[in-house]
A and B are shown apart, each in its own frame.
Chain A
Amino acid sequence: MELHILLIFMIAAAIVAIEVKDLLSSVIAVGAVGFALCLAFLVLKAPDLAITQLVVEILCLIILIRATINKDLPLVIEGRWIFNTFSTLGFIAVFLLFSWLALKELPGFGEPIMAVVKKYLQEGVSKTGSVNIVTAVILDFRAYDTLGEATVLFTAVIGIMAILRRPGRKKRE
């Protein structure tokens, strides 16, 4: 029940974020979607994800508000609104059709079909000694994936530092 209220609130906030004219209001509506997602993770009993979602959302909001607080970019939509509306409705229909076809095959909520999940849950504490089963999975059983994720973040930081450094900007002028 709480989950449905949160989902309806998230959809409403997302529509507000698209439709509102002011850029700062739109950013704040996106933040409302993120915090509602954090509450949804708490309702689904996933505190690890809730903590991560909360702190990453705060950092993204700070950066977005810092970037948009001095800019006033009103969105102008003129002409061709019939074509835009019909193409949007068509894509929504196609998306709903294919998502219905895909979601029909998923197992029920809380009933995993993979045997390896049961093995992790039963033997996680005895094999790794870690009480937090999420940490046991991401840093012991599936640590190779975490290495890839760490590499992605490292590459992103290197790319941003390389693009934004001062000598590279001076040469262009």
Chain B
Amino acid sequence: MIDNPKTGMTLIVKTITRLTVGLILLFGIYIILHGHVSPGGGFAGGVIVALSFVHLMLAFGKDVAAARISKNMASNLESIGAMMFLFVALLGFLGGSFFLNVLGKGSPFNLFSAGTIPLSNISIGIKVGVGLFAIFLALVILEKSSKKEP
């Protein structure tokens, strides 16, 4: 399916996409995980993760990207991200109040520091990335099905 010359763009675009799409996904994950140490955070990293899948879809066509993440899996992951963020919020009740930072602070400038903030970043990253990709997938499917109408 990935080598089908009928779907997607030209060979040049496909070759460059094979080289770069993994790096873009890795950079998005880096931005999400280092949200409390360097600029960025869950929202920006999530959009970069969504952009890597959009890149894949633009270069190889709808089927290749939809085989990686289907619409149902996107919905489930979106719900899991939202529930995870709410769970982090409810975790604060262990210390007495909503959104309290109950985990250990750690030392600054470390990756494992800042208590619950990395967990919130990861959940927001999952939610935003999968949600924006689901919007793009739904728009592409709409375009596909509206062409069939007479």
Contacts and interface: CB of A to CB of B under 8 A. Distances in A.
Contact of B105 (A63, A128, A151): A128
Interface in A21-72: 47-48, 50-52, 55-56, 58-59, 62-63, 66-67
B47 A56 contact: yes
Interface stretch (A81-89, A110-118, A141-149): A141-149
Contact of A55 (B47, B107, B131): B47
A137 to B, nearest CB: 11
Contact of A154 (B113, B117, B127, B138): B127
A157 B99 CA distance: 25
Given A63-B136, A128-B105, A157-B134, A135 B35 contact: yes
Given A128-B115, A129-B105, A166-B145, A48 B40 contact: yes
Given A58-B51, A153-B128, A131 B82 contact: no
Interface string A157-172: 1001100111001000
B40 A51 contact: yes
Nearest to A51: B44
Given A62-B58, A129-B114, A136-B117, A161 B138 contact: yes
B48 interface: yes
11 contacts: A51-B39, A52-B43, A52-B44, A55-B47, A129-B101, A129-B107, A154-B82, A154-B127, A160-B135, A161-B75, A166-B145
Interface in B87-146: 89, 98-99, 101, 105-109, 113-117, 120-121, 124, 127-128, 131-132, 134-136, 138-143, 145
B94 to A, nearest CB: 15
Given A55-B44, A147-B86, A161-B75, 20 more contacts: A51-B39, A51-B40, A56-B47, A62-B136, A63-B139, A66-B139, A129-B113, A130-B37, A134-B39, A136-B117, A139-B42, A143-B120, A147-B89, A150-B82, A150-B85, A157-B134, A161-B138, A164-B138, A164-B142, A166-B141
Given A58-B51, A154-B127, A139 B121 contact: yes
Contacts of A161: 71, 75, 134, 138
A140 B40 contact: no
B47 A132 contact: no
Contact of B36 (A136, A143, A156): A136
The interface centre, meaning the residue of A128, A129, A160 with most chain B CB atoms within 10 A of its CB, is A129
A128 B101 contact: yes
Nearest to A153: B131
A154 B101 contact: no
